[in-house]
Amino acid sequence: MDFLVVLVSILTVALVFVLWIRKKHAFWKELGVPYVEPHFFYGNFKDVDQYQHDGQFIQRFYRKYKGRSPLIGMYTFLKPVAIAIDIELVKNILIKNFNSFHDHGTYYNEKDDPLSANLFNLPGTKWRQLRHKLKTAFTTGKVEMMFTTMWEVAKKFESKIGEACETGGEFHNRKLMTRFTVDVIGSCVLGVEANSLEDENNGFFQVGMSIFHNPRHGMRFIFLLNVFRDYARKLRFKLFRDEVIEFYTRIVRETVDYRLANHIERNDFMQLLIKLYTSKGEDKLSFNELLAQAFVFHIAGFETSSTTLQFCFYELACNPEIQDRVRNHIKEVLENHNGQLTYEALMDMKYLEQVLHETLRKYPPIGLLPREASQDYKIPNTKCVLKKGINVIVPAYAIHHDPEFYPNPSRFNPDNFSEEAVKNRPSVAFLPFGEGPRICIGARVGMMQTKMGVIAGLRKFRYTLSPRTKQPLKLLSKFNVIYPEEDVWLNVERID
């Protein structure tokens, strides 16, 4: 009899549990929103980081449901997630109704992992206050002051490409581009000489690369942390590995202490952070706040620019006529500026900008832009109300590959960003840096260093694909930042 009671009790609990799960997964059905049938436990993200890059994963559903509904419903484990399909809804979320979607809804733990409490992750008032403090670092004047420092590193980058010409005429695309951007951002953000171009075994390069290529958690676990943020903080989960936290804490602490002790000032991002750190007013930053912002601008600055350069040089190697056109364009603009690369000359290189925008269109650094409803929000022209706390995803990768906005989207075509083409397309159809008040604050710095990388790399050299590069190029599924799955090798020859 006791055994039967226990068995009935277990079956009853199991049944209640199953019914509870099914009730959770009935959320979108009850709202009358088209939805993707979820896995019992994982929801719709079971295969994320296994088979497809997350941007391509969502693209399948974007294509299927576009025109049928302004949004579709999915689930991260048990939590409902809305995927914005209609371009006007995307504009509302990012710009028009920003106050209803001002947070990313991502996990951070400022107590145990100070690096995670950065501008990207912080919500609401914390984000607004911090953004206000930091915006003066990215005015046109401040960005222009970084020009000389960036170009000095770019010339070293050019020399490294020249060395590759002399030692076999082939190089590993990712490593060289990342070494360049690590050195640029190290100088302009942290104010330190990383010297990755000279020594790829140094700490900046190795630790920086490990953040993305050897993360503490996989994508599915990151989704889990985002869903159960409060519980994760109580359990003291960290986003970054301990050695990463220790490395950046030491480097930033040494830099701050050295500058303060020796009264050293530089025209870089670190100087602004130090000024806020030593201030007495309401703009004052704690050391952990300074640390988190120095960290995020360093890793975001070098990694997104590095991937853009990698894909740009890959596409130029695949499209020699575009490569020749942009090289000739660079030379013509330089001739109009007495052969000197100045900030003004850089701004005049319109076709170079088109090439980089097309690279960012085809390979956006982040394929999905997360948002979280900060208040109840009624979807225009529907009866659907997104409740406060619902996560919303803007599928940037899918939008960038939508033939409505970009004819033949798999083709690399810089004319997609001619003045006329841009005018005839919704502004939110191009989202490499996000859009609206939460657009990437350092976008202009990233574009400037990327332009310099292309100029330094193209002026004197021509590129073709090495036979070691596998075609067609596939995207790595393990990370939300976009990478090629296989190593890309390029042949290079000197043409000056």
Which residues belong to the annotated binding site for heme? 440
Q: How far apart (Å, rounded) are the C-alpha atoms in residues 146 and 394? A: 32
* Bind-site residues: 440
Three-state DSSP class for 105? coil
What burial class does residue 13 get, using C-beta atoms within 10 Å of its C-beta: 0-12 exposed, 13-18 middle, 19+ buried?
Answer: exposed
Give one DSSP letter per residue of 54-78, joined into a string: HHHHHHHHHHHHTTT-SEEEEEETT
What burial class does residue 338 get, using C-beta atoms within 10 Å of its C-beta: 0-12 exposed, 13-18 middle, 19+ buried?
Answer: exposed
Q: How far apart (Å, rounded) are the C-alpha atoms in residues 20 and 14? A: 10
- Torsion angle of C-alpha atoms 165, 167, 169, 175, degrees rounded to 10: -90
Joined together, the tokens standing for residue 307 give 């991937």
Question: Which 8-state DSSP code applies to residue 188?
Answer: I
- Number of Cβ within 10 Å of residue 27's Cβ equals 18
Q: What are phi and psi of 39, to 5 degrees?
A: -70, 150
Q: How far apart (Å, rounded) are the C-alpha atoms in residues 341 and 352? A: 14
Question: Nearest 5 degrees, angle CA 164-CA 168-CA 171?
Answer: 50
Sign of CA dihedral 386, 392, 394, 395: negative
Q: How far apart (Å, rounded) are the C-alpha atoms in residues 312 and 309? A: 5
Sign of CA dihedral 327, 485, 405, 425: negative
Which residues lie below 8 Å from residue 19, measured CB to CB, with a gap of 6+? none
Which residues lie below 8 Å from residue 356, measured CB to CB, with a gap of 6+? 308, 312, 447, 450, 451, 454
Beta bridge partners of residue 434, listed in sequence order = 432
Token pair 């960003």 is found at: 417
Joined together, the tokens standing for residue 160 give 């490294």
- Torsion angle of C-alpha atoms 42, 78, 438, 57, degrees rounded to 10: 30
Give one DSSP letter per residue of 416-466, joined into a string: GGSHHHHHTS-GGG--BTB-GGGS-TTHHHHHHHHHHHHHHHHSSEEEEE-
Which residues lie below 8 Å from residue 248, measured CB to CB, with a gap of 6+? 115, 207, 291, 294, 295, 298
